[in-house]
A and B are shown apart, each in its own frame.
Chain A
Amino acid sequence: MMDVYIKGLGNISPQNTADNSQFLDKIVEYDQNNLQVIHPVYKDHISPIKLRRMSRMIKMGIAASSICLDDAGITNPGAIITGTGFGCTGDTEKFLYAMVENDEQYLTPTAFMQSTHNTISGQIAIMLGCKSYNSTYVNRGSCFEAAFQDAMMLINEGEANDALIGGFDECTDKHYIITSRLGYWKDRDIKNTDLYTAGSSGSISGEGASFFAISKDGGSNSYAKIKAVNHFYKPDGFEEVERRIQSFLEANGHNPDSVDLVVNGLNGDEEGDLVYHHLMKGALKSSTHTCYKHLCGEYDVASAFGLWLACKILKTQTVPESVRVGNAPAGQINTVLVYNHFKSSYHGLFLLESC
């Protein structure tokens, strides 16, 4: 598969990431297990007339995509592809509650239109007047990887020269309560900065909208060259994960020793983190390691935050202290592997090189 280049980023998260000129200069600390995004001034990115009908999640998605396209200097992408675990959760809740409360009468069009998973990719296309390929992946913890893979294949096959890819999910109060009952989160509130030392099961909840503009053409303003994306489901133990990572690296002209830095999806869940520790002590022991879920929390498309982190590290050649696991890298960072799994079932890999 041909190389593609990441030309633009747009990331709205529980940290101050919407401004591309900053890079985790000051970490935002939370004292509870439900990390929520820091909203930018939406009127800077969306016209007030369009803004009034948009829900919280749609504002996040549209603004992140707008920041990303501006960053890349792309006005009409060759494809718009998104990934989301639950779509516009708040709108879905609103629509379903209205159905129940009004005995399936008086259903309003706005909540219906905004409650579908593909609302955001559709809204972006309408706003841009973009009639190109438009798709949304909803395969939970690997939907973002699938969206990215689709975009890369389109470019590889000459169907598009560039593409806008996004991962988004929101955590409403009800979503948080339901997923708490499923044992997703830690029983007691912790500080997000204590995530990896709290020593218990579960993680902290997060949300965000992360967009990436990719192109077949490089250039000095590119963040990174993306070599490959892969994802797999329910591997048979740590050895299979290790084997798949090795095969992935070898298929793309690398080996574990040639990976300078790994962006790990560690999320503070004692059991789920074992596989990362296995790799850090084993196949990937010679790499520098980083983690990020204390910054954004855990959610279906958290790996998009991880990819954002990898891009910023490659472009700035800086590894902020807040994301380091161990020591800072000794030299130049040329190759980065992003590895994440969601609930030990959905595993995703991105391989990036500096430009």
Chain B
Amino acid sequence: MEELINKLKAEIIEVLNLEDISPGDIDAESPLFGEGGLGLDSIDALELIVLLEKNYEIKIENPQDGKTIFFSIKSMAEYITEHQAA
């Protein structure tokens, strides 16, 4: 899980062009959207959906699940692990 979390951090930094942020600056349990975390927005959410599809072959069928899956890096990693095991 730790390895996947670090990989996700690096991928998110690259895809979202977070120039001044390094993987060590991101708390895996902090919220990705809104105050108190990375402060991502709806366009970033679309980029993350594409990232899951392209890099992990996971398609989110129910848009309502997005809020839970993309809450934090850790929740994303858990979702990926769960789906890859299935």
Interface residues of A (CB under 8 A from B): 48-49, 51-53, 102, 105-110, 113
Contact A106 B53 (CB under 8 A): yes
Q: Which residue of A lies closest to B45 (CB)?
A: A109
Contact B19 A52 (CB under 8 A): yes
Interface residues of B (CB under 8 A from A): 15-20, 39, 43, 46-47, 50, 53-54
Bound-state Cα–Cα, A48 to B53, Å = 28
Contact B16 A52 (CB under 8 A): yes
What are 5 inter-chain pairs, A to B, with CB distance below 8 A?
A52-B16, A52-B17, A105-B53, A106-B50, A113-B43
Give the residues in chain A near B43, CB-CB below 8 Å: 53, 109-110, 113
Q: Taking A51-B19, A109-B46 as given, write out 16 further A-B residue pairs in contact, using a Cβ cutoff of 8 Å, ordered by the A residue number.
A: A52-B16, A52-B18, A52-B19, A53-B17, A105-B54, A106-B50, A106-B54, A107-B50, A108-B46, A108-B47, A108-B50, A109-B47, A109-B50, A110-B43, A110-B47, A113-B43
Instruction: List the count of A-B residue pairs having beta carbons below 8 Å apart.
Output: 28
Q: Indicate which residue in B17, B20, B54 contacts A102 across the interface (CB closer than 8 Å).
A: B54
Bound-state Cα–Cα, A53 to B15, Å = 10
Give the residues in chain B near A109, CB-CB below 8 Å: 43, 46-47, 50
Give the residues in chain A near B15, CB-CB below 8 Å: 108
Closest-CB distance, B44 to chain A (whole angstroms)? 8
Give the residues in chain B near A107, CB-CB below 8 Å: 50
Closest-CB distance, B55 to chain A (whole angstroms)? 9
Bound-state Cα–Cα, A52 to B47, Å = 14
Closest-CB distance, A127 to chain B (whole angstroms)? 15
Give the residues in chain B near A113, CB-CB below 8 Å: 43
Closest-CB distance, A337 to chain B (whole angstroms)? 44
